[in-house]
Structures are given as C-alpha cells and as structure tokens.
Amino acid sequence: MRPDDFRFDLPPGLIAQSPLPRRSASRLLTLDGATGAWCDTWVRDLPLLLDAGDLLVFNDTRVVPARVFGVKPTGGRVEMLLERSAGETAAWVQLRASKGFADGAAFRTAGGPVRVLQREGDLWLVELPGPPLEFFEAHGEIPLPPYIDRAADAADRERYQAVFAREPGAVAAPTASLHFDAELLAALEARGVQRAFLTLHVGAGTFQPVRAATIEAHRMHAERVAVPQSVCDGVARAREAGRRVIAVGTTVARALEAAASQGALAPFAGETRIFIHPGHRFRVVDALLTNFHLPESTLLMLVSAFAGREHVLAAYAHAVAARYRFFSYGDAMLVTPAQGVRT
C-alpha cells in the first residue's frame, strides 16, 4: 500500500488550536469496524457505551517540557526537541537551525553548553550539561504539535497532559487520554469499568511522515515501553469474564501488541519499533478509543488496520462534514474491529 492510500481532505479550520474548557466535553464518533456504521455521541457518554468488567488500558506517560532554544557561536538560533534519553547526560534530539551541524559543534542554552556528538537519520545525539530529564524540565517548554499554530502557554502545561500522567519521558501527549477528567473516571468506576496503566514514552517521531514509496518499507522510530504484570493480569481477568480490552489511544495499542508479539501477552520493558498497518492481526485489543489523526500518518494506518481503511476514511469524511475538531486537542472516536483482524 502507498501512503496516499490514507489521504483525506481536511479544512484547516477543523484543526483544534486549544482544548475545550472541560476535558470530557468533546464529541465522540463511534465506528463499528465490522459494518462501517457510525454514530455521533459525546465522550461524557462513554460509561453508557462500556460494560461492567470491561478494561480500559491507559498510558501514564508524562510530557516533559521538551523544547529548548539555544544560540550558536555565530549567533544563529537553534531549536532542540528531545526525542529520548541516551545515558546519564546524553540524549537523542531533533535540531533545527539556519545551517547544519558538524560532529563536535556546540551551542549555548540557558542551562549551559550542548555539544553535538553524531547524527543518525533525522536525529542527533548530543551531550547535555546534566541529566536529560532534569535539563529539559528546568529549561524547556511544552512542545505543542506542529499543527497548533501558536506558542505554548501556561495552561498547556496542565491541559497537554493526562490527569493521571506520572512517568516523565514523553515529548507528545497520548491524546486520547486528554478527554478523561475526575468526573468521567468516577462515572466509569461506578459503572464497574476496570482500568490499568502501562507506559509508552511518545517520541517526536510520531509526527514524522512516511517517506517510503510503500508503507511496508517504512521503518518506525523507537519508543520506550513498559507493560507491567498488572496489565497482563487485568487483561487475563477481562478475558475470563468475557469482557473487552479497550486501548485508550494508539500508543496503548502499540504497547499491548508489542508485548504480545511473541504470542501471549507478557510483561515487557524496552524499546519498540512496531508498525501496525493493514494486515496486522491484533492479539490483545478489542476496542480502541482514539483521536482523529493526520492524513497519511502511521497513526491513521494503525486505526485503519483495526477497523478497515474504507470504513475509517468514510467515518473521517463524515467527521469533516459534521465539523468535528481534529488532532491533539480535538474530538475522539471509539472504534471496534473489522472482521478478521483479531487472532
């Protein structure tokens, strides 16, 4: 398949630039992957769409202030975006400047000098003045996605973060989680819906386009994952009770499927490059709660793998016509699988 098989037309005015005043006030489009049928509803109605014993699996990663600005010895401006830590004082980052960088080059930041060590693809390995997370927490700003056409403000430090975020390391939010507030979580608990938490530290590579001629030739960026025993136990209990495992976001779907890549779901800690696209057979996920994604993106390909490309693109066309809000601060979908995609 080609990347343009996942193209759709999106008016720029539908890209949400700011969050709604209330997290759970977003719209929710339900999509039945088996039939292609959809229904317009609201995120706050989620407890009515789930059953007691269903398991919601969340990503508890916490977004760090991952964007830092610097100055070259020549006076040129540098923008550095953390991808992931790579040791005590080293990190893989994206660098942007008017001219390129050579190995050994250095530039100044508010936290001290940064030295460029080497390049690998779109990323640079740099040496920082101190531990990466501490450095960026002290001197960085929240890295809003490139399609949000404004600077981050103080409110984004709270709203571009799940209410249950606790493990620092992400440079982009697992946006499906942004819809959950205390009231919605309490209503789900009263309904008897179970919850579990894993960690996938979302990297800046999540916004990178597929540059290969075919999607099968694309190589995913690496992201750090931790799927604990508690998640495996929760999935087993849901299975025994005949209930569903619902991934809250594409990051959770990737983490669960990576942890089950050898067959049965098992605890997993390490990096994954799993690329889920049409043809993937899902081992763990029974339903998916997800935001709307960029055209031709790997995230849209994952949703299409789960519910069928034609059904997903038709639902997206409806969402555009109905003026849903798109991307990180936008509305959501609750998707069930197409026939034949579950093992």
DSSP per position, 294-317: -TT-HHHHHHHHHH-HHHHHHHHH
Mean pLDDT, the chain, integer: 95
Spatial separation of the C-alpha atoms in residues 279 and 173, rounded to whole Å: 27
Please tell me the number of Cα atoms within 13 Å of 15 on its side-chain side: 14
pLDDT in tens, 101-111: 888 899 999 99
Residue 205 confidence (pLDDT) above 80: no
Spatial separation of the C-alpha atoms in residues 151 and 233, rounded to whole Å: 42
Spatial separation of the C-alpha atoms in residues 201 and 185, rounded to whole Å: 22
pLDDT in tens, 123-143: 899 999 999 999 999 999 999
Whether 38 contacts 313, CB under 8 Å: no
pLDDT of residue 100: 79
Backbone φ and ψ of 289, nearest 5°: -100, 125
The answer to whether the pTM exceeds 0.85 is yes
> For 3-63+155-336, CATH number?
3.40.1780.10
Q: Bridge-partner residues for 196, per DSSP? A: 57
Whether 342 contacts 306, CB under 8 Å: no
Cα angle value 196/202/203 (rounded, 5°): 165
pLDDT in tens, 232-281: 999 999 999 999 999 999 999 999 999 999 889 999 999 999 999 999 99
pLDDT in tens, 267-322: 999 999 999 999 999 999 999 999 999 999 999 999 999 999 999 999 999 999 99
> Of 342, 266, 270, nearest to 34 (Cα)?
342
Whether 113 contacts 105, CB under 8 Å: no
Measure CA of the first residue to CA of the last residue in the chain; give whole Å. Answer: 22
Spatial separation of the C-alpha atoms in residues 3 and 180, rounded to whole Å: 32
Q: Bridge-partner residues for 194, per DSSP? A: 55
Spatial separation of the C-alpha atoms in residues 301 and 47, rounded to whole Å: 27
Q: Any idea where the domains of the chain sit in the sequence?
A: 3-63+155-336, 67-139
Spatial separation of the C-alpha atoms in residues 224 and 88, rounded to whole Å: 16
pLDDT of residue 147: 94
- 282 secondary structure, DSSP code: B
pLDDT in tens, 56-92: 999 999 999 999 999 999 899 999 999 888 989 999 9
Q: In the numeric block, which tokens belong to residue 3?
A: 């990347």
Q: Bridge-partner residues for 197, per DSSP? A: 58
Element of type H or E holding 27: strand 27-32
Residue 204 confidence (pLDDT) above 80: no
Whether 45 contacts 61, CB under 8 Å: no
Backbone φ and ψ of 236, nearest 5°: -60, -40
pLDDT of residue 221: 85
Spatial separation of the C-alpha atoms in residues 202 and 84, rounded to whole Å: 9
Q: In what order do the strands lie in the sheet with 332-336?
A: 38-42, 27-32, 332-336, 287-291, 245-248, 55-59, 194-201, 223-227, 268-272
Whether 143 contacts 67, CB under 8 Å: yes
Spatial separation of the C-alpha atoms in residues 245 and 248, rounded to whole Å: 10
